[in-house]
Amino acid sequence: MSILLSNGKEIPIEMHKIRIVQRVRLAPAAERLQAMEKAGYNTFMLRSRDIFLDMLTDSGTNAMTDLQQAAMMQADDAYAGSESFYRLTDAVEDVFGYKYVLPVHQGRAAEHLLAKTFIKPGQVVPMNYHFTTTRAHFELVGGTVLELYADEALNTQSSHPFKGNIDLARLKECIDKYGAEKISFVRMEATTNLLGGQPYSMENLKAIKAMIEPLGIFLLIDGSLISENAYLIKQREAGYADKSIKEIIREMMEIADILYLSARKSCSVRGGMIATNRKDLHDAIRPWLPVYEGFFTYGGMSSREIEAMAVGMREMTELEVAGSAADAIKYFVNRCVEEGIPVVTPPGGLACHVDARRMIPHVPQSQYPAGAMSAAIYIAAGIRTMERGSVSMDRDREGNDVPSDLELCRLAVPRRIFTMSHYEYAVDRLKWIKANADLIGGLVFFEEPPVLRFFAGLMKPLGGWGQKLAAKFAQDFGPNC
């Protein structure tokens, strides 16, 4: 939620009070440099104790509500037929209107089952944009990911309200080129993660469905960030201002054929699921669930998380919850723009994304500018961010680096974790980094895993720039900052 102050300014306002807190520590710059060196300039390799503000991700890091915690106490740990599962299916039916539910341990497990069931070698999967784990699973079974976004999606200085839309002309071209039998399904990702948390519109969803339904192609939604997409539709799309978040989500689900999600995001727990009303799709996936995840009524999740997921799923349809991250992000992004920090606009529903190409234009893409930016932000501020650029792209089948469309450094906004002073601190340190951008150089891998290399790859700063940046920081702010 946002609230208007008497001076005409809008600020994000928390519609909750904080009853449990976790201490954090701001290690001095010299210590942060050491930690970054030890982590191979990869923020995934840092230890939590060395981090002041953890903006790596919103995945599994949201604050739960008292009601979610309370629900965990009534967990029914039966291996089969657990009551907890039936409370989850009630919530799914209520929120999404879908009656078949396949629980999985997290989002990528859903992607694994969907890929295994529906993608045949040589087929293509059109989508608005890939997610890292989605691409990995779809390609591992021999499929090809086709990203059919509009050109505007890659413009990081935009005011387009729905950069997560599929370009309909490109979808038509794709169908004409490959034919329906070579298309596994069409995937639409809510609040498109790697495009900077950008939403699709309901209009776009309807048009996609109208095009593919007569051809027998089904529409799959990745709803990991669905409540934020619904919130942004309510704010930005004509005709939706007076609809509730639940009505908007229900309308999406009436258009789609099948949904999967990582419950670690909008639902604020750790888990995932696939849901649908189409018996044929459900029946095709179902046999594989106990093979890879667990029995049909727990799917690899703990009963406690299943209970908390049922509550979190209903809660995400409340306006204050659906908008809690989006309105903080709006503030965070707009403050960065005011201070001249190059970030992705318009504000989306996931994070504040620094555009590394504009922040450190002298670092070539082959030296991973977004990775360098991510390391620099940790050294200068103790803030952990995530590289969302070429490090996050694996090499192609010939072993060549694949340059990413965008070189973004993501400052994720987990739900109900940070306050305005945290955002103001981040803005201030980003401003300092921009003023000292010439000190930052590129990175080179010295250890590189063959798949999802961004998780565990180790890098070195070219020319030892990390040391120079830390020294300049200590000079400007003193040794204890």
Contacting range for ligand PLP; rule: CB under 6 A; set: 117-125, 163-171, 218-226, 248-256:
218-226
CB of 102 vs ligand PLP, minimal distance in Å:
15
How is 111-130 classified by DSSP, letter by letter?
A: HHHHHHHH--TT-EEEES--
388 given a catalytic annotation = yes
CB of 190 vs ligand PLP, minimal distance in Å:
7
108 near ligand PLP, judged by CB under 6 A: yes
Beta strands in 77-161 (DSSP E): 100-104, 124-127, 144-147
**Nearest-CB residue to ligand PLP?**
107
472 given a catalytic annotation = no
10-12/53-54 β-pairing: unpaired
CB of 131 vs ligand PLP, minimal distance in Å:
4
Rounded to whole angstroms, the Cα distance separating 347 from 350 reads 9
How is 380-441 classified by DSSP, letter by letter?
A: HH-EE-EEESGGGSPP-TTS-----S--EEEEE--TTT--HHHHHHHHHHHHHHHHTGGG--
Given a contact cutoff of 8 angstroms between Cβ atoms, the answer to whether 284 and 117 are in contact is yes
- How many binding residues for ligand PLP (CB under 6 A)? 16
Contacting range for ligand PLP; rule: CB under 6 A; set: 65-73, 88-96, 126-134, 432-440:
126-134
Rounded to whole angstroms, the Cα distance separating 41 from 27 reads 17
19 given a catalytic annotation = no
227 near ligand PLP, judged by CB under 6 A: no
Degrees to nearest 5, angle at CA 348 with 435 and 14: 90
Residue from 85, 98, 118, 131 carrying the catalytic annotation = 131
Given a contact cutoff of 8 angstroms between Cβ atoms, the answer to whether 294 and 82 are in contact is no
Return the residue of 41, 85, 118, 131 that touches ligand PLP, per CB under 6 A: 131
Residue from 118, 260, 454, 473 carrying the catalytic annotation = 454
429 near ligand PLP, judged by CB under 6 A: no
139 near ligand PLP, judged by CB under 6 A: no
257 given a catalytic annotation = no
144 given a catalytic annotation = no
CB of 433 vs ligand PLP, minimal distance in Å:
26
Residue number with CB closer to ligand PLP (263 or 439):
263
Binding-site ranges for ligand PLP (CB under 6 A) = 59, 106-108, 131, 133-134, 189, 193, 222, 224-225, 262, 264-265, 272
Catalytic residues: 79, 131-132, 222, 265, 388, 454
